[in-house]
Amino acid sequence: GIDGVWDRAIRAPIGGRAVRVCSVADQLAHLSVHLGVKHGFCDGLLGVVDIALTAHLVHGDDAWREIGAAHRAQCIAPLTTLTLTLARDLLGAPVPSAYFAEAGADAPDVLPAALEQLWDRDTSDIRGLDAVVGAGVGAGVGGALGAIGAYVSIFHGGPLAPGESRLQALGTRLRYDVTGRLARYAKAFARGEFRPDRLTHRAHMLREKKALVEVLERSVSSRPPVEALLPDRA
């Protein structure tokens, strides 16, 4: 529940000002959902590093038990058990057994698939290519063309800047994408990422990612609603 996240927010000094940030338990929950369900572990080790660094803010088994209980109540303990296990085993994050005992959930049986996604992302961030390849997985050339069409169609609706036409909006976005990503795509091309065998590999990894995310989503959605586990505020 978003209301609970706001209620648990804490003040932290950032840039000389006190701002509201997530509690450590909620931050770990957010990072786990972002790394696992949102991106299917395909962004490399950086997401695991974020979780490991956050884990260093927790001191003592009692604090970890509280976090485990919170994740159990939020119905995401299977996912956080997986991500915190990765942070512990890969980066030495100080996650004690007290957390796992209190969370009371088995991690989904996807560790090999998660590691495959983590280690495969040492190439480059070329998501535009992944979007086209992903749309083409199981749909052929028509699916890839559909992804391109979806990109263009974004600029057929929505607000425009004063005096801006749809064509100008599309041109601005294309210019941004080209100038912001051209060097990245050039490096990928030089490494051979556009070779047929590499494109085939990308298609395979995208299929594996889709299956992985589906398992993670089921592991969370199969839990009872959060409201059923929380006390009545009244």
Name 159's Cβ contacts closer than 8 Å, sequence gap at least 6. Answer: none
Q: Are 81 and 100 in contact (CB under 8 A)?
A: yes
**Share above pLDDT 90 across residues of the chain, in percent, rounded to a whole number:** 46
Q: pLDDT band for 71, please (50, 70, 90 cuts).
A: very high
* Secondary structure (3-state) at 13: strand
Evaluate if pTM is beyond 0.75: no
* Secondary structure (3-state) at 19: strand
Helix (H) or strand (E) holding 24: helix 24-33
pLDDT at 194: 81
Candidates 81, 86, 82, 66; CA nearest to 25 is 66
Per-residue pLDDT of 134-181, as tens digits, reads 655 555 556 556 666 666 665 555 677 787 787 787 777 778 777 777
The pair of three-digit structure tokens given for residue 31, joined into one six-digit string:
């990072």
Helix (H) or strand (E) holding 14: strand 10-14
Q: Are 67 and 28 in contact (CB under 8 A)?
A: yes
Per-residue pLDDT of 91-135, as tens digits, reads 999 999 999 999 999 999 999 999 999 998 655 556 666 666 665
Per-residue pLDDT of 18-27, as tens digits, reads 999 999 999 9
Q: What are phi and psi of 18, to 5 degrees?
A: -90, 115
